[in-house]
Amino acid sequence: MNLGLIGCGIIGVLRAEAIAQLRGFRLSAVADADAARARAVADRFRAVVDADWRNLIRRPEVDAVIVSTPPPLHAPMCIAALEAGKHVLCEKPLARSPEEGRPILETAERSGRILATGFNYRFYPAVVKAREILDSGLIGELDHIRSYTGHPGGREFSHPWVHDPHVTGGGALVDNGIHTIDLTRYFLGEVSEVKGFATSNVWGFAGCEDNAFALLRSPVGKVASVQASWSEWRGYRWSIEIYATRGCVRASYPPMLTQAVWVDRPGGSRRSRMHLFPVFQVIERLRSTQWTVRQSFMAELPAFSRAIAGEKTEIALGRDGLRAVEIAHAVYRESRDRTTVTLDG
């Protein structure tokens, strides 16, 4: 697969590094508003540079495009690439609002091309193992979910636009929280009802909450709680706890681990198993957490390729990306208006 990359920032470079390590994938062309940055990536990975991203999406040799730019550019770039007949993998969030995201999905449906959203947490080993345990039936039938993500802000705000709602569409819930919303749906299933609150008592960024709390309910009555925070003073972390009728499984990071607890029958003796991933802990210390992100990209791209081939894979598609944005903005509306928001099917 020949890939075009739009956006050569930190995440774009990690994407390029992941492509370079995968057999059957090639970075053909890159584009970035910063010409020097684009040239550096192109020279390193033997790709061509397009000064204008519109030229990149018209290249006949490019099979699919990775959009790795700030959110305001996602809609125009994704729509243009899909209309040009390219498959698209877009970084999160898919759009700044549901209204901005729906035309992207509609274009993908009209074009017959695959639109995927970069929810790479699905490919973290802890999540893969948790999915395997739930699907095995070991802990019984799903009952409810608790999920959380947080970081302390400050240096975690890698760019000023991260807390500019005109760029991102919101605060913590559409920043680090959007991954957690997707993971929750990944295990819970579809979400039909949303309740939530958002608070801005810590950083005071206009239009950007620093904490958000959501209750989600599925059409069959399964419930999940989600919190996203920019005031997690202990440092960056996330976890998802899946509770079922005979036990539970918890996936968390850092460190990367999965823990399962279960009983053979109600009231029976508890058993537990911890799944550790020491390679990740060792290599992260030797290199950085970027190594873990790159590993997830290396697992995500083959799933993208299989989805293009018509297979069902773990990758988050365009509908998953749009649904996560819809849920986040439902929390914003519910918090503002104090009304329960019901999502259309």
pLDDT of amino acid 6: 98
DSSP per-residue letters across 130-168: HHHHHHHTTT-SEEEEEEEEE---GGG--SGGGG-HHHH
- Helix or strand or coil: residue 72? helix
Burial of 40 (0-12, 13-18, 19+ CB in 10 A): middle
pLDDT of 250 higher than 90: yes
**Tens-place pLDDT, residues 3-13:** 999 999 999 99
pLDDT digits (tens, 9 = 90+) for 94-105: 999 999 999 999
- Is the predicted pLDDT of residue 160 greater than 90, yes or no? no
Pick the range with the lowest mean pLDDT from 25-34, 263-272, 314-323, 331-340. 331-340
Question: Cα 48 vs. chain centroid, distance in angstroms?
Answer: 28
Mean pLDDT of 71-83: 98
Distance CA 245, CA 263 (A): 9
224 φ/ψ sector (left φ>0, alpha ψ -120 to 50, else beta): beta
For 58-81, what is the mean pLDDT?
Answer: 98
- CA torsion angle 304 305 307 313 (round to 10): -60
Q: Which of 176, 173, 170, 171 is nearest to 194 (CA)?
A: 173
The Cα angle at residue 209 between residues 203 and 210, in degrees rounded to 5 = 50
pLDDT, one tens digit per residue, over 104-138 is 999 999 999 999 999 999 999 999 999 999 999 99
pLDDT of residue 340: 67
Closest CA to 209 of 332, 124, 83: 332
In the prediction, which pLDDT does 156 show? Answer: 86
Q: Is the pLDDT of residue 140 over 90?
A: yes
Q: What is the enclosing helix (H) or strand (E) of 90?
A: strand 87-91
Question: Residue 57 is encoded by which pair of tokens?
Answer: 């999406």
- Residue ranges and CATH numbers for the domains of the chain are 2-119 (3.40.50.720), 121-342 (3.30.360.10)
CB 49 within 8 A of CB 33: no
pLDDT at 158: 79
| Phi, psi dihedrals of residue 292, rounded to the nearest 5° | -65, -45
Residue 281 has pLDDT above 80, yes or no: yes
Residue 83, classed as helix, strand or coil, is helix
Query: How many C-beta neighbours within 10 Å does residue 141 have?
Result: 10
CA–CA separation, 236 and 279 (whole Å): 20
Quote the percentage of the chain above a pLDDT of 70. 99
Please provide the DSSP assignment of 38-86 as one string.
HHHHHHHHT-EE-SSHHHHHT-TT--EEEE-S-GGGHHHHHHHHHHTT-
Provide the token pair at 56. Answer: 């990149």
